[in-house]
Every structure is written in structure tokens, then in C-alpha cells.
Amino acid sequence: MRQRLIHKRRRSRLGLFVGGIAGIALLYWGAQSLTKPPANPGLGEAALEHVKRMVAFGPRPPGSEAHQQTQRYIQETLQSAGWTVQQDSFTAQTPIGSVPMNNILGRLTGRTDRIIVMAAHYETKLEHDFPFLGANDGGSGTGLLLALAPILAKQNHNHTLWLVFFDGEEAFKEWSEKDSLYGSRHLVEQLKASGELSKIGALFLVDMIGDRDLDIRRESNSTPWLTDRVWNAAKRLGYEKNFLPVSSWVEDDHLPFLKAGVPAVDLIDFNYGPGNRYWHSAEDTLDKVGAQSLGTVGAVLLEVIAELDRTQ
């Protein structure tokens, strides 16, 4: 229970939420007839297959064998889809001591040096009392990005695309500024030093987007205009029932980028099971994750990436 208060800390705007209920009900019925057939049928199934493969490795906290297997799996999947892969390895100082970590970057060079980033964290939270598989928390975002990799590689883009897989999102003890977001904080510093940070036009973070009961709220730390782009794209595709017109705030891997001035949006469904019960529990298992939810978020991402590529 205590962890619920400290990891991915969330504060619901209850007033907005209650006020939005009537609107949601109307939008839900309206959306039924508007939903277009997906432009990439099979995207959700492909993403789910990747999640299945990762979950089969077992719990994957940094330093574990499953963590290394996951890294190899991400790297091989990216390379076979035609992406250039780069590792960002470092040693994190954590409350349990020094922990080796590794962010993985896939790059697809466009005609401009402007960069659009899609990101997720892939490791699972270290738990001693139960096997934490993180099918949704860590698995879903990673699985979706891996499924998007071959689709994006076949498209023509003006801008350079990066797929970023963060290590060390989770706290080892208690969520705090120092004990969390190890990978994203490290990468921001690296990109500042290399001069690439200022070239990033937008960062889309996906986390916990596989819940079969998909309800994503606008995340209040995120850049408003970028959030609007995502919600407008979802509306065009008829997914208003999954992208709710209400807000809550979540601390996640987008924060270090926001603080460094990069426009960023966190797509997260922090309402996972009754009362968020599956979150950080033994119940975050494959059966809770649905191909349709993964495919929905994937379709919205492809739509908004295409729009940014045309207009920005």
C-alpha cells in the first residue's frame, strides 16, 4: 500500500474526473461507430508476442540473468528490423549499492537531424517477496516499441526516429528523486554532453499501456501541446473511450527530459485492476495484458508521429 503512494506518484484531479464522467459516457457511445479499422492489423498481437517473450525470461530487475536476456532480445529485435543500436551503459549508485545499468537506443536516420523519440522502460522492479513479472509495468511499453520497430523502419520519415529503452525506472527502496528514473536521468546528461538533447523535438513515453481495460488520462506534467496532439489523434481514430478527457499526474521517465526543456508526454494507464491492485503485485501477469490495448496505443502513436513528421 505504501508503495502505491510513492512509485509513479499520482494525484487524481477528482473534481475533473467526476465532471468528466458524463462526457466520457457520451463519448464512449459516440466512439463505437467512429472507430476506424486499424491501419496496421496485427500490431497489437505482435506487441503482445514480445511481452510474452519477455515475461518468459522471468523477473528482470537490473543485474539479473533475465535482465540480460531482455537486453539481448531488444537489441536483436531492433537490429533485425533495420535499426542502428547503441548502448548507454553506466553504474548507478542506489540504496542497495552500485548497480550496472544499460539504456538501449535504436536509431533510424531521417532527412533532417530533428529527433522524435519513443521510449519505455524495460526492467522490472526488484521484489524479494514475490515474483514480479511486470507484464504491463515495463513489458507493455517495451513490447509495443519492439512491434513498432519494423513498421517505422519501412516508412519514409523526414525526421530521425529513436526508440529508447530505459533501464532503472523503478526505485530500489522508496521512490524519491535519487531512487528512481536512473536510466532516463543518465541519458539526459549524456545527450546534453553530446549536444543531441536540443535536437529532440518530442518524446513519447509509453508505460503500463497494456491493461485490457485501457483508460489513459492526460498526464499533467507532460507538455500540453504534445498531449493535445496525442488526444486529437486518438479522437480522429475513434479511441476517445481509451483516451479520457481528464487529468492526473505521474512521475515517470519523461520528467528528466521535461526538466531539460524537451517537449514530452507520458502515456500511462495508472488504473490497473480494481483500485490499481495489479500494479507492483504478483498479479501483473500476461493474462492482464490485451493485444487490443497495445494496438490502440500503437495506432495513435503512428498517427501522431506521421503528423509531426509532416508538420514540424
By beta-carbon proximity to Zn ion, the closer residue of 229 and 280 is 280
By beta-carbon proximity to Zn ion, the closer residue of 231 and 279 is 279
Q: Which helix (H) or strand (E) holds 11?
A: strand 10-12
By beta-carbon proximity to Zn ion, the closer residue of 137 and 266 is 137
Least distance (Å) between residue 276 CB and Zn ion? 11
Question: Which candidate in 88, 167, 179, 207 is catalytic?
Answer: 207
Least distance (Å) between residue 280 CB and Zn ion? 6
By beta-carbon proximity to Zn ion, the closer residue of 134 and 263 is 134
Measured at the CA of 69, the angle between CA 94 and CA 255, to 5 degrees, comes to: 45
Find the binding residues for Zn ion in span 52-81 (CB under 5 A).
none
Find the binding residues for Zn ion in span 126-185 (CB under 5 A).
137
Task: Give the cell for residue 207.
Answer: 508505460
Do 289 and 135 form a contact (C-beta atoms < 8 A)? Answer: yes
Which residue has its beta carbon closest to Zn ion? 137
Least distance (Å) between residue 151 CB and Zn ion? 27
**In the stretch 81-120, what mask flags binding to Zn ion with x, by CB under 5 A?**
----------------------------------------
Neighbours of 93 (CB within 10 A): 10
Neighbours of 230 (CB within 10 A): 23
Find the binding residues for Zn ion in span 118-137 (CB under 5 A).
137
- Asked if 252 is part of the footprint of Zn ion (rule: CB under 5 A), the reply reads no
Rg (CA), the chain: 18
Residue 189 catalytic?
Answer: no
Handedness of CA 1, 9, 229, 86 (dihedral sign): negative
Least distance (Å) between residue 170 CB and Zn ion? 5
Longest Cα–Cα distance in the chain: 54
Please count the residues of this chain forming the interface with Zn ion, following the rule CB under 5 A. Answer: 1
Least distance (Å) between residue 12 CB and Zn ion? 18
Residues 6+ apart with CB under 8 A from 225: 263
User: How far is CA 70 from each of CA 122, 147, 264, rounded to the nearest angstrom?
Assistant: 8, 15, 26
Question: Which candidate in 88, 123, 167, 169 is catalytic?
Answer: 169
For the chain, what percentages of helix, strand and coil (3-state, to nearest 5) are there? 45, 20, 35
Closest CA to 195 of 115, 258, 252: 115
Residue 207 catalytic?
Answer: yes
Residue 178: left (phi > 0), alpha (psi -120 to 50), or beta? Answer: alpha
By beta-carbon proximity to Zn ion, the closer residue of 111 and 173 is 173
Least distance (Å) between residue 247 CB and Zn ion? 20
By beta-carbon proximity to Zn ion, the closer residue of 71 and 124 is 124
Residues marked active site are found at 169, 207
**Contacting positions for Zn ion (CB under 5 A):** 137
